[in-house]
A and B are shown apart, each in its own frame.
Chain A
């Protein structure tokens, strides 16, 4: 098994799935590391002990490239490629921390926060909150604007509920439903700022083709999809 050879640990999220391939040496933040061809820069960075902040990436799903938090600098390349969708190349030199990258990541996270319920920011313990902490941000400068706070919570499923206000539209649930479960019950409906997770043809989870497997709940980084049992006595939004 490749994972044994590479010594991947299951308590670390490498961001993108492991690959089998010829060894490729790269340098991340000055640390030399060798990963199989076809691996992402994000995986190499995690291997090198310099994990890149991320939201839409997780190593149980194929990379997607939507959250734009995992941007890095690569010698000889223009701009700030996303480390999840960029594959390693021999002797690639990657920088995961710089003033510019910090500013960019803060800029992106500020946008997320501008459409995230303020009361849910402090004290949270989701991946979203971990990423906020890693980037060092706890507020935003955008004031009150268009948001998704008033969308209705879908608690039709007996096991989990979906709170669109906390959804960051990373599509991890949609992809988990497709890639892990093969059910294709979830989709992103509408586009642009109106984009939202929908079950089947915008039905409730219970009415939809959802089979309650829980893959989406496990994949959700912001607890928009969350198990009901975690909230004894039912879920109440503060």
Chain B
């Protein structure tokens, strides 16, 4: 693993790393950073507080690190009130303390990961371009500039990278379609409207390593001949918006964005657009409508956005993680990336452990490992200590996975076999107190709230779904309504215009299939 520290240099001031990402801050990281500065001044110690990104070990946030002897040592979760005792314990020289976690890279949760896309996340100050470059940043773009467009697309195709937003469409094929499409203007758009329940990988990479997103988009622009890119960024991510905008300014000033990218003679401009605040705007065609300043309604396909996308021009629409994975593929080669993974699922998946889980956080790992390993070895079971009853994978439209399916490998095809979905990599865990009937109802309610209203199966179907489930739960014509619910799910899956209405029934069907004991009349208390 690379290290931002340079042990050859004389130490002027001791560096303490306190994460600045949204999660760490919500856990009190700002107070901790302030307390360290105050305590250091009081004691006359020379300390530089670096605000790095998060390592993604969220149950340990705020997790601070000190660089001692070229090795980063971690402490966490730290509160402001712990700071004096940390100084007393000599934490600046990695002294022992009750919150001590040892060398950061040796924490099993982190050591067992394969951080490719997240190689720099949590290590550096996200907005220090020199740190980014020192750790391999912009090597991918430098390589891409020396290649032809076809060669770039070939490398991405050979890497086996598939869309990490959820649909898992081969990225190289999408890029080739845009490359071959006729058009004097083409666009690269980054879908950063991350809205799946329990997901935070997009936010994390944007807040902790924004240049990798910029570099990935720039490579995409070079590959297909697009001179303009847009990041459609969730409005509820104010810090990510600020950091991405600052990073774009820094990249522009350094000649890494603009009319002449890295002296290549090729132009690529980038802008952040705040998303409209609706889940449906994360659907690619709706996102394009919204980017054009219109109401976020679904467009029918074909034509694909790759042929007729933003403002009618050929457009790449990729998820943040997909684009952030491109620089390392270019820098290290297609094989390096493809060697991770299994079957048709190549490379790494950024799993987000959330919900009722003991050790929630980000786990980047090669495809193919069993789901159980993520839940038990990484996650440590539920936070409540009770047995896991269900896991929802792939966001609010993903099936609930029954414990009997926990040995399934993390692999797009293996999940599809049992009606599951890896989607954006979010895993939301529930213990045995969960009411699966309520969860089924929630799926339909979510769809009803988020429906754009264009197609009938979603617009009316989701509302009827809630009503039918309510009738079942209250014991009205239970068997007839169970049958009707199945029919409704079938109509929505087969008939909806987009994936919202088309997939909202999946969690419901999984409850009907595996947790049917919860989808029946409730005993009157």
Would you call A124 an interface residue if the criterion is a C-beta within 8 Å of the partner chain's C-beta atoms? no
Determine the chain A residues whose CB is within 8 A of the CB of B471 once the complex forms.
143
Determine the chain B residues whose CB is within 8 A of the CB of A145 once the complex forms.
463-464, 467
Would you call A210 an interface residue if the criterion is a C-beta within 8 Å of the partner chain's C-beta atoms? no
Would you call B455 an interface residue if the criterion is a C-beta within 8 Å of the partner chain's C-beta atoms? yes
With both chains docked as a complex, state the minimum distance between the C-beta of A199 and any C-beta of chain B, in angstroms.
17
Q: Which of chain B's residues 266-311 have a Cβ closer than 8 Å to chain A?
A: 278, 280, 295, 300, 302
Determine the chain B residues whose CB is within 8 A of the CB of A169 once the complex forms.
453, 456, 459
Determine the chain B residues whose CB is within 8 A of the CB of A86 once the complex forms.
302
The residue from B278, B295, B462, B484 contacting A141, defined by CB atoms under 8 A apart:
B484
Stretch at the interface among A21-29, A103-111, A125-133: A103-111
CB pair A146–B494 under 8 Å, yes or no, is no
Would you call B451 an interface residue if the criterion is a C-beta within 8 Å of the partner chain's C-beta atoms? yes
CB pair B490–A68 under 8 Å, yes or no, is no
CB pair B302–A111 under 8 Å, yes or no, is no
> A residues touching B (Cβ–Cβ < 8 Å)?
63-68, 71, 79-80, 82, 85-87, 103-104, 107-108, 110-112, 114-115, 141-143, 145-146, 168-169, 171, 188, 190-195
CB pair A104–B491 under 8 Å, yes or no, is yes
With both chains docked as a complex, state the minimum distance between the C-beta of A192 and any C-beta of chain B, in angstroms.
4
With both chains docked as a complex, state the minimum distance between the C-beta of A107 and any C-beta of chain B, in angstroms.
3
Instruction: Given A107-B488, A111-B464, decide whether A79 and B456 contact each other with a Cβ distance below 8 A.
Output: no
> B residues touching A (Cβ–Cβ < 8 Å)?
278, 280, 295, 300, 302, 448-464, 467-468, 471, 480, 484, 487-488, 490-491, 494-497
Determine the chain B residues whose CB is within 8 A of the CB of A195 once the complex forms.
453, 459
Alpha-carbon distance A193/B463, docked complex (angstroms): 7
Alpha-carbon distance A8/B451, docked complex (angstroms): 38
Instruction: Given A107-B487, A146-B463, decide whether A193 and B495 contact each other with a Cβ distance below 8 A.
Output: no
Chain A residue at smallest Cβ distance from B278: A191
With both chains docked as a complex, state the minimum distance between the C-beta of A72 and any C-beta of chain B, in angstroms.
12
With both chains docked as a complex, state the minimum distance between the C-beta of B288 and any C-beta of chain A, in angstroms.
16
CB pair A66–B464 under 8 Å, yes or no, is no
The residue from B449, B451, B453, B456 contacting A108, defined by CB atoms under 8 A apart:
B456
CB pair A142–B451 under 8 Å, yes or no, is no
13 A–B contacts, CB within 8 A, in A order: A63-B300, A80-B494, A80-B495, A107-B457, A108-B456, A110-B491, A111-B457, A190-B453, A191-B278, A192-B450, A192-B459, A193-B448, A193-B462
Apart from A111-B464, A146-B467: 12 A-B pairs, beta carbons within 8 A = A65-B455, A66-B456, A68-B455, A68-B456, A71-B494, A80-B495, A85-B300, A111-B456, A112-B456, A145-B467, A192-B452, A193-B459
Determine the chain B residues whose CB is within 8 A of the CB of A67 once the complex forms.
455-456
CB pair A107–B490 under 8 Å, yes or no, is yes
Instruction: Given A82-B300, A193-B451, decide whether A142 and B464 contact each other with a Cβ distance below 8 A.
Output: yes
With both chains docked as a complex, state the minimum distance between the C-beta of A167 and any C-beta of chain B, in angstroms.
12
CB pair A65–B460 under 8 Å, yes or no, is no
Alpha-carbon distance A86/B302, docked complex (angstroms): 7
CB pair A108–B300 under 8 Å, yes or no, is no
Chain A residue at smallest Cβ distance from B493: A79
Determine the chain A residues whose CB is within 8 A of the CB of B490 once the complex forms.
103-104, 107
The winner among A63, A111, A112, A141 for most chain B CB atoms within 10 A is: A111
Alpha-carbon distance A36/B468, docked complex (angstroms): 45
Shortest Cβ-Cβ A-B pairs, 4 listed: A107-B491, A195-B453, A192-B451, A65-B300
Alpha-carbon distance A169/B452, docked complex (angstroms): 12
Alpha-carbon distance A79/B492, docked complex (angstroms): 12
Determine the chain A residues whose CB is within 8 A of the CB of B480 once the complex forms.
141
Alpha-carbon distance A195/B468, docked complex (angstroms): 21
Determine the chain B residues whose CB is within 8 A of the CB of A63 once the complex forms.
300
Determine the chain B residues whose CB is within 8 A of the CB of A65 once the complex forms.
300, 455, 497
CB pair A107–B495 under 8 Å, yes or no, is yes
Alpha-carbon distance A111/B488, docked complex (angstroms): 9
